[in-house]
Protein backbone atom coordinates (compact mmCIF):
# COMPACT_ATOMS: atom_id res chain seq x y z
CA UNK A 1 0.00 0.00 0.00
CA UNK A 2 1.47 3.31 -0.94
CA UNK A 3 1.03 6.15 1.50
CA UNK A 4 0.65 9.44 -0.33
CA UNK A 5 1.89 12.68 1.23
CA UNK A 6 -1.77 13.80 1.63
CA UNK A 7 -2.89 10.68 3.46
CA UNK A 8 -1.56 9.59 6.84
CA UNK A 9 -0.48 5.98 7.10
CA UNK A 10 -3.07 4.01 9.09
CA UNK A 11 -2.19 2.93 12.60
CA UNK A 12 -3.33 -0.31 14.25
CA UNK A 13 -6.97 0.05 15.32
CA UNK A 14 -7.78 2.80 12.79
CA UNK A 15 -11.06 2.50 10.89
CA UNK A 16 -10.75 2.55 7.11
CA UNK A 17 -13.67 3.90 5.07
CA UNK A 18 -13.68 2.64 1.46
CA UNK A 19 -15.80 4.55 -1.02
CA UNK A 20 -17.74 2.13 -3.24
CA UNK A 21 -20.37 3.16 -5.76
CA UNK A 22 -23.53 3.84 -3.73
CA UNK A 23 -22.19 2.91 -0.28
CA UNK A 24 -19.13 2.77 1.95
CA UNK A 25 -17.33 -0.41 2.96
CA UNK A 26 -15.51 -0.41 6.31
CA UNK A 27 -12.44 -2.24 7.58
CA UNK A 28 -10.15 -2.00 10.60
CA UNK A 29 -6.40 -1.64 10.15
CA UNK A 30 -4.41 -4.31 11.97
CA UNK A 31 -0.78 -4.37 10.83
CA UNK A 32 1.60 -4.49 7.85
CA UNK A 33 -0.87 -2.96 5.35
CA UNK A 34 -3.51 -5.52 6.35
CA UNK A 35 -7.08 -5.02 7.52
CA UNK A 36 -9.94 -7.07 8.89
CA UNK A 37 -13.34 -6.65 7.25
CA UNK A 38 -16.61 -8.45 6.53
CA UNK A 39 -17.04 -10.34 3.28
CA UNK A 40 -19.70 -12.68 1.90
CA UNK A 41 -19.13 -16.25 3.16
CA UNK A 42 -19.10 -17.67 -0.37
CA UNK A 43 -18.26 -16.56 -3.85
CA UNK A 44 -22.00 -16.09 -4.51
CA UNK A 45 -21.36 -12.35 -4.25
CA UNK A 46 -17.98 -10.77 -4.85
CA UNK A 47 -16.55 -9.29 -1.64
CA UNK A 48 -17.32 -5.60 -1.47
CA UNK A 49 -20.04 -5.74 -4.13
CA UNK A 50 -23.33 -3.99 -3.50
CA UNK A 51 -25.07 -7.39 -3.92
CA UNK A 52 -23.23 -8.72 -0.84
CA UNK A 53 -25.59 -6.66 1.36
CA UNK A 54 -28.33 -9.22 0.64
CA UNK A 55 -26.48 -12.00 2.46
CA UNK A 56 -27.52 -12.73 6.07
CA UNK A 57 -24.06 -13.96 7.03
CA UNK A 58 -20.56 -12.63 6.57
CA UNK A 59 -17.04 -14.00 6.87
CA UNK A 60 -14.53 -12.00 8.91
CA UNK A 61 -11.48 -11.76 6.66
CA UNK A 62 -7.87 -10.69 7.13
CA UNK A 63 -6.72 -9.14 3.85
CA UNK A 64 -4.22 -6.74 2.38
CA UNK A 65 -5.81 -3.30 2.16
CA UNK A 66 -4.97 -3.11 -1.56
CA UNK A 67 -6.95 -6.32 -2.16
CA UNK A 68 -10.02 -4.92 -0.37
CA UNK A 69 -9.95 -1.58 -2.20
CA UNK A 70 -10.78 -2.93 -5.69
CA UNK A 71 -9.46 0.37 -7.07
CA UNK A 72 -11.70 2.51 -4.84
CA UNK A 73 -10.50 5.46 -2.78
CA UNK A 74 -10.27 5.29 1.00
CA UNK A 75 -9.44 7.25 4.11
CA UNK A 76 -8.77 6.74 7.79
CA UNK A 77 -12.04 7.67 9.49
CA UNK A 78 -12.21 7.38 13.26
CA UNK A 79 -15.21 9.72 13.19
CA UNK A 80 -16.72 8.52 16.45
CA UNK A 81 -13.59 9.29 18.53
CA UNK A 82 -15.30 12.51 19.67
CA UNK A 83 -18.38 10.59 20.80
CA UNK A 84 -16.91 7.36 22.20
CA UNK A 85 -13.57 6.62 23.82
CA UNK A 86 -11.65 4.08 21.70
CA UNK A 87 -10.59 0.93 23.51
CA UNK A 88 -6.84 0.53 24.12
CA UNK A 89 -5.09 -0.38 20.84
CA UNK A 90 -3.84 -3.74 22.13
CA UNK A 91 -7.40 -4.68 23.13
CA UNK A 92 -8.78 -3.55 19.72
CA UNK A 93 -6.21 -5.69 17.90
CA UNK A 94 -6.73 -8.68 20.22
CA UNK A 95 -10.53 -8.53 19.76
CA UNK A 96 -10.13 -8.04 15.99
CA UNK A 97 -7.72 -10.96 15.50
CA UNK A 98 -9.99 -13.22 17.57
CA UNK A 99 -12.77 -12.66 14.98
CA UNK A 100 -10.72 -13.64 11.88
CA UNK A 101 -12.28 -16.50 9.84
CA UNK A 102 -15.49 -16.51 11.88
CA UNK A 103 -18.92 -16.43 10.27
CA UNK A 104 -21.07 -13.68 11.79
CA UNK A 105 -24.66 -12.58 11.33
CA UNK A 106 -24.99 -9.76 8.81
CA UNK A 107 -27.81 -7.26 8.46
CA UNK A 108 -27.77 -4.08 6.43
CA UNK A 109 -29.84 -2.36 9.15
CA UNK A 110 -28.31 -3.53 12.44
CA UNK A 111 -25.21 -5.62 11.70
CA UNK A 112 -23.25 -4.29 8.72
CA UNK A 113 -19.51 -3.71 8.23
CA UNK A 114 -19.68 -0.27 9.89
CA UNK A 115 -21.38 -1.74 12.98
CA UNK A 116 -18.69 -4.44 13.03
CA UNK A 117 -15.65 -2.14 12.99
CA UNK A 118 -17.20 0.35 15.44
CA UNK A 119 -17.86 -2.49 17.87
CA UNK A 120 -14.21 -3.57 17.61
CA UNK A 121 -12.82 -0.03 18.09
CA UNK A 122 -15.27 1.42 20.62
CA UNK A 123 -17.22 -1.53 22.01
CA UNK A 124 -20.34 0.07 20.50
CA UNK A 125 -22.10 -1.38 17.45
CA UNK A 126 -23.18 1.71 15.50
CA UNK A 127 -23.65 2.75 11.87
CA UNK A 128 -24.25 6.29 10.68
CA UNK A 129 -24.60 4.94 7.14
CA UNK A 130 -27.89 3.29 8.15
CA UNK A 131 -29.25 6.64 9.38
CA UNK A 132 -28.32 8.21 6.06
CA UNK A 133 -29.97 5.30 4.24
CA UNK A 134 -33.20 5.83 6.22
CA UNK A 135 -33.17 9.55 5.40
CA UNK A 136 -32.51 8.84 1.74
CA UNK A 137 -35.34 6.29 1.63
CA UNK A 138 -37.74 8.74 3.29
CA UNK A 139 -36.72 11.48 0.83
CA UNK A 140 -37.09 9.06 -2.07
CA UNK A 141 -40.55 8.01 -0.88
CA UNK A 142 -41.63 11.65 -0.55
CA UNK A 143 -40.30 12.39 -4.02
CA UNK A 144 -42.08 9.36 -5.51
CA UNK A 145 -45.26 10.35 -3.69
CA UNK A 146 -44.98 13.82 -5.18
CA UNK A 147 -44.58 12.39 -8.69
CA UNK A 148 -47.49 9.98 -8.19
CA UNK A 149 -49.70 12.77 -6.94
CA UNK A 150 -48.84 14.96 -9.93
CA UNK A 151 -49.38 12.06 -12.27
CA UNK A 152 -52.80 11.34 -10.77
CA UNK A 153 -53.98 14.95 -10.99
CA UNK A 154 -52.64 15.63 -14.47
CA UNK A 155 -55.48 16.38 -16.87
CA UNK A 156 -57.93 17.19 -14.07
CA UNK A 157 -59.32 20.71 -13.55
pLDDT digits (tens, 9 = 90+) for 60-105: 999 999 999 999 999 999 999 999 999 999 999 999 999 999 999 9
Residues 76 and 21 in one domain: yes
Does any domain span residue 109?
yes
37 catalytically annotated: yes
Sheet holding 74-76, edge to edge: 74-76, 15-20, 23-31, 34-39, 57-64, 103-105
- Res. 25: pLDDT tops 50: yes
**Residue among 6, 25, 70, 115 flagged as catalytic:** 25
The rounded distance, in Å, linking the Cα atoms of 19 and 96 is 22
Name the pTM for this structure: 0.75
Residue 54 has what pLDDT? Answer: 63
Which residue would you say has higher pLDDT here, 120 or 141? Answer: 120
Q: Where in the sequence is the domain holding 138, given as residue range(s)?
A: 128-157
Does any domain span residue 45?
yes
113 catalytically annotated: yes
**Residue among 37, 70, 132, 152 flagged as catalytic:** 37
- Percent residues over pLDDT 90 in the chain: 59
34 catalytically annotated: no
Residues 84 and 149 in one domain: no
Does any domain span residue 46?
yes
**Residue among 6, 72, 113, 132 flagged as catalytic:** 113
Amino acid sequence: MSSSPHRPRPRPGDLIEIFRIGYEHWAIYVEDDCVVHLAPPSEEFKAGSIMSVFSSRALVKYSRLEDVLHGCSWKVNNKLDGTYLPLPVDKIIQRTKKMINKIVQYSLIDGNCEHFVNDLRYGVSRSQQVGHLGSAMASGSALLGSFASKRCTRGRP
